[in-house]
């Protein structure tokens, strides 16, 4: 996951299948656009979501993935920081969920 334009976390798919992928990001400022990518270069159509103001941004897509595909959430415009403290309390700043819907 790219959180500041340089840091990357990726998720390796162990089993081929159809997956519902849902992500949430707690961004510190508005105007950020994020999207799902497969194997680093392919933006998943319809998976890019924008955040008009600071707060929670959610996105999701139904994907057909092959074994060893790599999925990541990337920032599409400029830089953005994820909020890890809100009102003095530590919070989860990013999450991604893979739900396998069917095997291939």
Residue closest to 48 by CA, chosen among 62, 58, 38, 63:
58
Instruction: Check pLDDT > 60 for residue 96.
Output: yes
Query: Chain-wide mean pLDDT for the chain?
Result: 83
Residue closest to 57 by CA, chosen among 39, 40, 81, 89:
81
Domain layout of the chain by residue ranges: 11-103
Contacts with 66 (C-beta within 8 Å, 6 or more apart), sequence order: 13, 16, 104
> Residue 61's Cα: distance from chain center in Å?
10
Q: Is the dihedral of CA 87, 79, 9, 50 positive or negative?
A: positive
| 61-90 pLDDT per residue, tens | 999 999 999 999 888 887 777 777 778 776
Contacts with 38 (C-beta within 8 Å, 6 or more apart), sequence order: 44, 63, 65, 69, 70, 71
The neighbour count for residue 76, using CB atoms within 10 Å, is: 15
pLDDT value of residue 40: 87
pTM above 0.75, yes or no: yes
Q: Which fold has domain 11-103?
A: Jelly Rolls (2.60.120)
C-alpha span between 103 and 26 (Å, rounded) = 32
Share of the chain above pLDDT 90, in %: 35
Summarize the confidence of residues 5-18 as an average pLDDT: 80
Q: Which residue has the higher pLDDT, 38 or 7?
A: 38
Summarize the confidence of residues 56-61 as an average pLDDT: 88
Instruction: Check pLDDT > 70 for residue 92.
Output: no
């Amino acid at each position: 996951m790219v959180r500041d334009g340089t840091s990357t976390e990726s998720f390796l798919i162990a089993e081929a299948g159809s997956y519902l992928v849902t992500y949430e990001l707690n961004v510190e400022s508005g105007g950020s656009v994020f999207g799902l990518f497969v194997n680093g270069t392919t933006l998943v159509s319809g998976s890019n979501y924008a955040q008009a103001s600071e707060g929670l941004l959610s996105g999701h897509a139904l994907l057909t993935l092959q074994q060893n595909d790599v999925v990541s959430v990337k920032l599409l415009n400029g830089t953005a920081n994820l909020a890890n403290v809100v009102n003095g309390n530590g919070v989860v700043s990013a999450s991604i969920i893979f739900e396998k819907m069917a095997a291939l």
